[in-house]
Structure 1
Amino acid sequence: MGVSTLKKMIDYLCLCEEVKVEKTGIIIDGAALYYCLYYNSDPKLDQRCGGDYPGFKDEVCNFFKTLQDCEVTPYIILDGGSDPDKHKTVVSRLGNRLEKAKAVAKTEPNAVPKGCNVLPPLVKDVFIEILKEKGIEFKQCLGEADPEVFSAANQKQCPVLATDTDFCIYDVDKGFLHLDNFEWKRKKDGKIPAKLYTRSKFCEHFKLDPALMPVFASIAGNDYSRLEDRGRFARESSSSGEYSIKRLDGMLSFLSKVNLDGLNDSQKRERALSHIFYQLSHHVGKKENETFKLAIQKYVEPEETSFNLPLWMHENMMGGELTTFVTSVVDQKTMMLTPVVEDFSQHSSYTAAYRIRQYFYGLLIGGQMCTEYDRDHKIDVQPLLPKVSSDEQKQLELQRLHKAPEGLRRRVFEEALQVQTSALENIPDQLKLPVCVTVFWFKRLQHHPKPETVHCLHALLLGFMFNPNSPEDEFEKKMKALKDEGVNNWQPRVAHAFSQWLCCMRQSLHLNQLLCSPLPKPQCARLYCGPLLHRLADEDTIEEVQKTLRGEKKELYENLKTACNPSSGEGSSQSLMSAAPSNEKGSQQVQKRKREEEQRDSKQKKTDY
């Protein structure tokens, strides 16, 4: 996230130039943008009920429409997997996010402390979906986005739009625009008011050699290192600012006085760092010294992170067709399960999708254990391998997975979710995957049945059918009214059930991506609106809405109910829910289905040619 409190200092000293942005290219840190748009929307988008993805889509589309109106051409670069060198920082942030999630869960939306935000689970997936839909140029990195943002900005001679103050340290030719000061909603005459930071102006103000900016960042505190100076720099500062500003000012003042005559940039950094340690009488061990040097090097020679993955996976990730979670699983054998707003008196919502993740890991790392970080603990997870023949197993190896027959890839998905997709003939393509997820989720909930479970199921099915952009009929009118009413009575158990569904949905999306989409890709942006579904999860409300269904919508709703079959004893659909064959006849049926799939795949190949 950059250098601690640096933005506060820059704002305090008014070191940015006020500008009007128009007729230019701009390199945007994608993660910073979707966080900013979600957290700063007006009215505020839901964080307590699992997210408002239709509302988020509106916000994103409005942002890009504003850029278009001002003839600003965006190029989005998205983060991939986290840098292994930042592992401790990432784990620490999970703890912070957990506390925020707990605060959001127990606090009314208008009383949540400032800065206490939790990003709903599907935001990144929805954001990428919107970029594709709008034809906006973007790239998803394999690792950290910062090096590629910096490189692209200087290559294209464009400013950077982000929130990470690391871009104050990089020498970005056209400067850095902080998203907090990019007032796109106040555009006037085709121009967007903003504040532009340039490293040259910063260094000029502090009379600092630009070569020492990476040293400053490493001691001030970033994602890699921080010097514990026990208040020494703050005490020697002449700044009238608060302690954190005094500390940075003292550091910059000290660095500006180091004698650098006759040294090249590398030697300057070496001398400055050693002078700091000497001045503080700070004994530095070999390991600590290497930590600071690594932190400095990240700015001096920013490198794209490389991973040992097949080419097809690289390409799919860069194009947003494959989740970047695969990198941490393959490279580090870890999975960070970002805290969500849920009922914290129950087991983590992520446990609902445990089986799906096991198959995800199995395809990526075979039988090797994967360590999951969930809430405040970590567990080692044993992957599950698809029950296929040895020849089919070879086809599912990462190097050739993308070339495996579609029928085989579909069977793996079916096995993971314990469903039969052949029962989805009457379900629209965009709802096939969500319905599979819903069946899987609903069956899991029946292990410990609760009265609100069926209400949540019906709310989801009605939500699948809601399209605020379609011609307004009685159903759409009723749904819009419920959405506008908002949630008056937030129920932890309802929130938890929906949170479990979202975890299953996201992991199923990513499994489907890894399997190269044997099921059609759903339109995630319109699938889930948390406040509406929470308002719907009530027996009387469901009955009222059901009465408004007519014609094709009523028929679709009946088809959805049949697929999910909530009335069956175990809550699982006899048509969709798969069962392992327990006899010879069952085995023959499986073999027959495999032959039919192979024939279908063969026909498809002929069609392709």
Structure 2
Amino acid sequence: MNSLRKRGCFIQTFIQGSPKSLKLDSQMCLIIDGAALYYSLYYTSDPKLDQRCGGDYPGFKDEVCNFFKTLQDCEVTPYVFLDGGSGPEKREHLVSRLKHKLEKAKTVAETEPDAAPQGCNVLPPLVKDVFIEILKEKDIMFEQCLGEADPVIVSAANQKQCAVLSIDKDFYIFDLCKGFLHLDNFEWKSKEDEKIPAKLYTRSKFCEHFKLDPALMPVFASIAGNDYSRLKDNGTFANESSSPGEYSIKRLDGILRFLSKVNLHGLNDSQKRERALSQALNHVGKKENQTFKLAIQKYVQPEKKCLELPTWVSKKVERGEITTFVISVVDQKTMMLPALVEDFSQRSSYTAAYPIRQYFYGLLTGGQMCTEYDRDREEIKDKRVPSIGKQLQLEHLHKVLRLIMKYTLDLGNIPDQLKLPVCVTVFWFKRLQHHPKPETVHCLHALLLGFVKMKALKDAAIRRKWQPRVAHAFSQWLCCMRQSLHLNQLLCSPLPEPQCARLYCGPLLHRLADEDTIEEVQKTLRGEKKELYENLKTVCH
């Protein structure tokens, strides 16, 4: 992955010094890599959005809405594509990436917000759910893919004659007829005269500069390094480069210079790639390797992933009605639990939602075992999880959720939008009562006050030092909330889907989780808000 980033930096170094900034034309469509967009918007927002306290979802919603409002003002029609599941062939890579993200999460947890190393980012757990919620709310066209989104994006971009907006370096390599817009150079906040300053990368321009046959771009990508392959050349290519850059840049420059000198006369594109790969491998004393051929094919003919999923699962995933986690559970009986910013001296926050996941697995697998990948202290461990229940007919699913929660709650006085969050909060609070702590009660009241007057409290000048135990309690609530959202979707929403963006603002709730602050805010409640708060307390106690 590191070499992939270096390759992208190398290409960007060239393109940023070549074409002048262009204006994105109005009355056009734009294919957007959804995952790249929500990562970028969350990490590059100004002011910076919270990563340490579980996320700032109201703030994130504002950022996303502003982005799409800018496109609308410029008469640009967005088509958003989101990643689905990854195949078993990438499991080792995904576990390695999870380990790397775990290290980042621990750094974020133990570092003051302004002191975290550059690039040390961890996506809060509800960001993707909130992003999809906004797409639906704003009627923005989107599709959630069953596999990786890259092949679908390339196909759609060339079919619709659109440029692609992403941060994924693979789009430098794919043959995109209208080119690639990198999010780092897509200056949507600098809109002027209903146009957006941007920089467009085209493969032909790059190949022209390096005198490289375009057919060899996939060969360059496969030996330079990506998620699938990387040629270990022990410094051969770097030593042959005259570039003044650091080692990784010299290596990439050396690879390009070598490929540009391969004799391709009289060959078709397929034969060109075969000869170039063979000569590159021979040049560093390596034998032919099928791994490189498969990596090259990924760029030449990007193929959609074909999975044997039940039709109702496929359709609901594509429409964003159920989470893509169902794909790996149904297809591979696995669940990769994303890294969280939490108290690493305690057990994983995912433990709190363990019973909910067991029912989730049971409904999808018919009661089969499922393998989870989660942290054990600071290491990634895989463990076999027995599922609960069995696959049910769709017409019976609406009866299940409250059975799973094991509570008969009187939700008559609770607004529809808060019924699922209240069920989750009761479940979470009772799970934590096995190890009662005063801060758990404070977190409960902070959540309830947030439900009642999140918007009014958002800008309140309440200051309090970050506490690991409070962070961990909220992290456990977020795990329960997200898994319950996904279970509710799977059960055809027996409880109304809440507006996730309004449920949780980490910095605010961390400041609220204090006995004196809670009492101070309670005194400000009046009328309907006071009545709702009392109703919430009654249900939760």
Same topology, TM > 0.5:
yes
Match of 2:478 in 1: 502
- Paired with 1:227 and 1:17, the residues of 2 have a C-alpha distance of 34
- Paired with 1:533 and 1:125, the residues of 2 have a C-alpha distance of 20
Query: Where in structure 2 are the equivalents of 1:90-239 lying within 5 Å?
Result: 90-239=94-243
Match of 1:404 in 2: 395
Q: CA deviation at 1:85?
A: 2.3
CA deviation string 1:117-142 (max 9, x = no partner): 01000000000000110111111101
**Contact 1:225–1:295 (CA under 8 A) maintained in structure 2:** yes
| Coordinate RMSD, CA, aligned | 1.4
**Contact 1:142–1:314 (CA under 8 A) maintained in structure 2:** yes
**Contact 2:125–2:478 (CA under 8 A) maintained in structure 1:** yes
Match of 1:581 in 2: none
Does residue 454 of the first structure (1) align with residue 435 of the second (2)? no
CA deviation string 1:450-497 (max 9, x = no partner): 1101000000011111252xxxxxxx3xx2443x54x54000000000
CA shift in 2, pair 1:132/1:231, >3 Å: same
Report SS of the residue matched to 1:424: coil
**Contact 1:367–1:382 (CA under 8 A) maintained in structure 2:** no
1:189 partner amino acid:
D
Query: Where in structure 2 are the equivalents of 1:320-339 lying within 5 Å?
Result: 320-339=320-339
CA shift in 2, pair 1:481/1:185, >3 Å: closer
Q: CA deviation at 1:16?
A: 4.5
CA shift in 2, pair 1:27/1:481, >3 Å: closer
Match of 1:86 in 2: 90
Report SS of the residue matched to 1:212: helix
Does residue 382 of the first structure (1) align with residue 369 of the second (2)? no
**Contact 1:15–1:202 (CA under 8 A) maintained in structure 2:** no
Query: Where in structure 2 are the equivalents of 1:11-90 lying within 5 Å?
Result: 11-13=12-14, 14-23=17-26, 24-90=28-94
**Contact 2:369–2:387 (CA under 8 A) maintained in structure 1:** no
Q: CA deviation at 1:384?
A: 3.1
Report SS of the residue matched to 2:346: coil
Q: Structure 1 residues 268-277 or 162-171, which shifts more?
A: 268-277
Q: CA deviation at 1:508?
A: 0.5
1:439 to 426, 429, 437: 426
Match of 1:420 in 2: 408
Q: Structure 1 residues 61-70 or 32-41, which shifts more?
A: 61-70
Match of 1:526 in 2: 502
**Contact 2:373–2:383 (CA under 8 A) maintained in structure 1:** no
Q: CA deviation at 1:416?
A: 2.3
User: Identity of paired residues, percent?
Assistant: 73
- Paired with 1:314 and 1:86, the residues of 2 have a C-alpha distance of 21
1:502 partner amino acid:
L
2:381 partner amino acid:
K
- Paired with 2:190 and 2:62, the residues of 1 have a C-alpha distance of 17
Runs of 4+ in structure 1 off by over 6 angstroms are none
**Contact 2:371–2:385 (CA under 8 A) maintained in structure 1:** no
TM-score, length-scaled by structure 2: 0.96
- Paired with 2:115 and 2:385, the residues of 1 have a C-alpha distance of 41
Q: What is the aligned length?
A: 534
**Contact 1:38–1:45 (CA under 8 A) maintained in structure 2:** yes
Stretches of structure 2 that go unaligned for 5 or more consecutive residues are none
- Paired with 2:242 and 2:459, the residues of 1 have a C-alpha distance of 58
- Paired with 1:552 and 1:45, the residues of 2 have a C-alpha distance of 31
CA deviation string 1:415-439 (max 9, x = no partner): 3222225x21111111111011101
Q: CA deviation at 1:249?
A: 0.8
2:453 partner amino acid:
F
**Contact 1:154–1:173 (CA under 8 A) maintained in structure 2:** yes
**Contact 1:255–1:272 (CA under 8 A) maintained in structure 2:** yes
Q: Structure 1 residues 56-65 or 5-14, which shifts more?
A: 5-14
- Paired with 2:20 and 2:160, the residues of 1 have a C-alpha distance of 21
TM-score, length-scaled by structure 1: 0.86
Does residue 3 of the first structure (1) align with residue 4 of the second (2)? yes
2:522 to 526, 537, 546: 546
Q: CA deviation at 1:283?
A: 3.4
- Paired with 1:254 and 1:83, the residues of 2 have a C-alpha distance of 33
Report SS of the residue matched to 1:490: coil
Does residue 244 of the first structure (1) align with residue 220 of the second (2)? no
Report SS of the residue matched to 2:297: helix
Q: Structure 1 residues 259-268 or 348-357, which shifts more?
A: 259-268
Stretches of structure 1 that go unaligned for 5 or more consecutive residues are 387-392, 469-475, 566-609
Q: CA deviation at 1:15?
A: 4.2
1:366 partner amino acid:
G
2:452 partner amino acid:
M
Report SS of the residue matched to 1:259: coil
